[in-house]
Amino acid sequence: MRIFLDTANIEQIKEGVKLGVVSGVTTNPTLISKEGHRDYEAVVKEICSIVNGPVSAEVVVNDKEAMLIQARKIAAWAPNVVVKIPSTTYGLEVTSQLSKENIKVNLTLCFSVNQAILGALAGATFISPFVGRLDDAGHDGMALVKDVVDIYKKYEDLTTEVLAASIRHPLHCVAAAKAGAHIATIPYKVLLQMTQNPLTDVGIERFLADWQSVSEGT
């Protein structure tokens, strides 16, 4: 399973990339707006220059024609841009057209197996089941990830990658890996949580203390 960072915060992305474990970034209009009033294009271009991998940037219009026009513009911002399109009827049509034009699509806001099947048939590069938001609504978000992975595996021609999104905590990452998700996109906070274990810290302290006592004795 690969790890993408789910943020538009430049410092977090730089720090994550330094660890050598982040191979992409996903953003959405909420994440972009959290970073203030910078120009959308400038922010996405900067992220694309930092990350050696796919960077998802979402369309911010809801009309089919406007979506298509905006998606083409976003796709031209950088070679590693992936356009995020919502999993709607129009979104599907837009995805089919963009995939014919070799523009990569991350079909977002996926909450059902049917949306995922249609997204793959439309040629989406990534499908993003929103795990946390399904959990919030009293459903099993990770069960959707597992179902989609299992179904895609049955059909060789469905090459869409499953990108587990709306990840809220480290256990979600473990479950996404067990479910066979190709990618988990995670907040920076969750990435840091994944690196930490109190037993590791206790172990380091003990090793260093033992080492210190021996060196003091020699």
Phi, psi torsion values for 149, nearest 5 degrees? -60, -50
Q: Which amino acids are annotated catalytic? A: 84
| Least distance (Å) between residue 184 CB and ligand G3P | 10
The Cα 36–Cα 128 span in angstroms is: 25
Check residue 95 for interaction with ligand G3P (CB under 6 A): no
Please, which residue, 7 or 95, has the CB nearer to ligand G3P?
Answer: 7
> Binders of ligand G3P among 154-183, rule CB under 6 A?
165-166, 168
> Binders of ligand G3P among 184-203, rule CB under 6 A?
185
| Least distance (Å) between residue 129 CB and ligand G3P | 10
Check residue 115 for interaction with ligand G3P (CB under 6 A): no
Which conformational region is residue 20 in: left (phi greater than 0), alpha (psi within -120 to 50 degrees), or beta?
left
**One-letter amino acid of 3:** I
Residue among 26, 70, 95, 115 that touches ligand G3P (CB under 6 A):
26
Beta bridge partners of 55: 25, 81
Instruction: Check: CB of residue 54 under 8 Å from CB of residue 2.
Output: no
The Cα 60–Cα 86 span in angstroms is: 10
The DSSP code for 160 is P
Check residue 87 for interaction with ligand G3P (CB under 6 A): no
Check residue 74 for interaction with ligand G3P (CB under 6 A): no
Residue among 45, 64, 72, 133 that touches ligand G3P (CB under 6 A):
133
